[in-house]
Amino acid sequence: MTEPATDTVVCDACPIRCVIKPGRTGSCDRYGNIDGVLARMDPLLVLDRTREQGGALVPFASREGDWEGDLVLTGEMFVTGAGSGTTYPDYKPAPFIVSSTIAGVDMVTVVTEAIFSYCGVDVKIDTDRHVGAERQIVRADGEAVGHVTTGQYGSQMLSLGGVNHLTGGTKHEGVVTMETLLALCSGGSVELSVDEGSQLVLQAGQPPVINGVVEERMRVGCGSATIGMFAQQWYEHVDEVVVVDDHITGVLSEHQAGRYLDIPATGIKVKGRRSTPGRYFNVANAGTGWGGTDIEDPLTIIERFDPAVARPGLTLLMIGTTGEHHAYFVLDDELRPVPAPLPDVLRLSVARIRENCEPAMTSVLFMAGAGGSLRAGATVNPVALTRSVNQTLTRVTCGGAPVYIWPGGGITFMVDVMLVPPGAFGYVPTPALVAPLEFTLRRDDYAALGGHMEAIVPMDEILARPDVRYS
Partner 1 sequence: MSGPTASTTADGSRLHLQHGPIDLIIEAWGDATDVADAYRRAWVRFQPLLDELVEELPTLRRPLDDEMPGPASPVGRRMAAAVRPFGDRFITPMAAVAGAVADEICAAMVAGGDLRRVYVNDGGDIALHLSPGESFDVGLVPVPNRPALLGKVAVRAHEPIRGVATSGRHGRSFSLGIADAVTVLAADAAGADAAATVIANAVDLPGHPAVRRVPASDLEPDSDLGSRLITAEVGPLGAGEVAQALAAGVEEAERLRADGLLAAAVLCLDDQVAAVASPVLASAVGG
Q: How far is the CB of 458 from partner 1 (least distance, A)?
A: 16
For residue 105, list its beta bridge partners.
102
Of the candidate residues 6, 7, 15, 159, the single one contacting partner 1 (CB under 8 A) = 15
Of the candidate residues 7, 13, 34, 137, the single one contacting partner 1 (CB under 8 A) = 13
Q: How far is the CB of 61 from partner 1 (least distance, A)?
A: 29
Q: How far is the CB of 262 from partner 1 (least distance, A)?
A: 53
Nearer to partner 1, 184 or 270 (CB): 184
DSSP state at residue 41: -
Query: 428-431 long-range CB contacts below 8 Å, 24 or more apart?
Result: 428/73, 428/76, 428/115, 430/67, 430/68, 430/69, 430/70, 430/73, 430/115, 430/117, 430/166, 430/167, 430/174, 431/166, 431/167, 431/174, 431/175, 431/177, 431/178
Q: Which stretch binds partner 1 (CB under 8 A): 130-138, 180-188, 310-318, 323-331?
A: 180-188
Binding residue count for partner 1, defined by CB under 8 A: 32
Residue 16 sits in the site that holds partner 1 (CB under 8 A): yes
Q: Which stretch binds partner 1 (CB under 8 A): 16-24, 155-163, 229-237, 256-264?
A: 16-24
Of the candidate residues 169, 188, 450, 458, the single one contacting partner 1 (CB under 8 A) = 188
| Closest among 113, 103, 106 to 460, alpha carbons compared | 106
Q: How far is the CB of 389 from partner 1 (least distance, A)?
A: 23
Contacts of 277 (CB under 8 A, 6+ apart): 254, 255, 256, 259
Contacting partner 1 within 211-230 (CB under 8 A): none
Q: How far is the CB of 400 from partner 1 (least distance, A)?
A: 9
DSSP state at residue 346: H
Q: Which stretch binds partner 1 (CB under 8 A): 169-177, 183-191, 295-303, 366-374?
A: 183-191
Q: Which stretch binds partner 1 (CB under 8 A): 14-22, 191-199, 296-304, 369-377?
A: 14-22
Nearer to partner 1, 190 or 286 (CB): 190
Strand order in the sheet with 273-274: 273-274, 279-281, 249-251, 240-244, 315-320, 326-331, 337-339
Nearer to partner 1, 297 or 461 (CB): 461
Q: How far is the CB of 420 from partner 1 (least distance, A)?
A: 11
The site string for partner 1 over 19-38 (x = CB under 8 A, - otherwise) reads xxx--x-xxxx---------
Q: From the CA atom positions of the chain, what is the Rg in Å?
A: 29
Contacting partner 1 within 90-119 (CB under 8 A): 90
- Asked if the bond preceding 431 is cis, omega within 30° of 0, the reply is yes
User: What's the one-letter identity of residue 86?
Assistant: T
Of the candidate residues 171, 272, 466, 468, the single one contacting partner 1 (CB under 8 A) = 466
SS3 content of the chain, % helix, strand, coil (to 5): 20, 35, 45
For residue 362, list its beta bridge partners.
125
User: What's the one-letter identity of residue 33?
Assistant: N
Q: How far is the CB of 416 from partner 1 (least distance, A)?
A: 16
User: What's the one-letter identity of residue 435?
Assistant: A
Phi (first) and psi of residue 147, to 5 degrees: -150, 165
Phi (first) and psi of residue 373, to 5 degrees: -70, -30
Q: How far is the CB of 90 from partner 1 (least distance, A)?
A: 4
Return the axis-axis angle of helices 344-355 and 223-234, rounded to nearest 10°: 140
At 209 the three-state DSSP class reads strand
Of the candidate residues 6, 62, 391, 471, the single one contacting partner 1 (CB under 8 A) = 471
Contacting partner 1 within 404-433 (CB under 8 A): 421-423
Of the candidate residues 34, 38, 75, 89, the single one contacting partner 1 (CB under 8 A) = 89
Count Cβ atoms below 10 Å from residue 207 Cβ, excluding itself: 20
Nearer to partner 1, 20 or 368 (CB): 20
The site string for partner 1 over 336-375 (x = CB under 8 A, - otherwise) reads ----------------------------------------
Q: How far is the CB of 15 from partner 1 (least distance, A)?
A: 4
Q: How far is the CB of 82 from partner 1 (least distance, A)?
A: 11
**What is each CA distance from 83 to 49, 55, 95, 383, 438, in whole angstroms?**
18, 18, 11, 23, 9
Residue 80 sits in the site that holds partner 1 (CB under 8 A): no
Core vs surface per residue 402-438: b (16+ CB within 10 A) or e: ebebeeeebbbbebbbeebbebbbbbeebbbbbbbbb
| Closest among 195, 160, 187, 156 to 176, alpha carbons compared | 160
Residue 203 sits in the site that holds partner 1 (CB under 8 A): no
Of the candidate residues 50, 74, 87, 156, the single one contacting partner 1 (CB under 8 A) = 87
User: What's the one-letter identity of residue 466?
Assistant: P
Q: Which residues contact partner 1 by CB under 8 A? A: 1-2, 8, 12-21, 24, 26-29, 87-90, 186-188, 421-423, 466-467, 469, 471
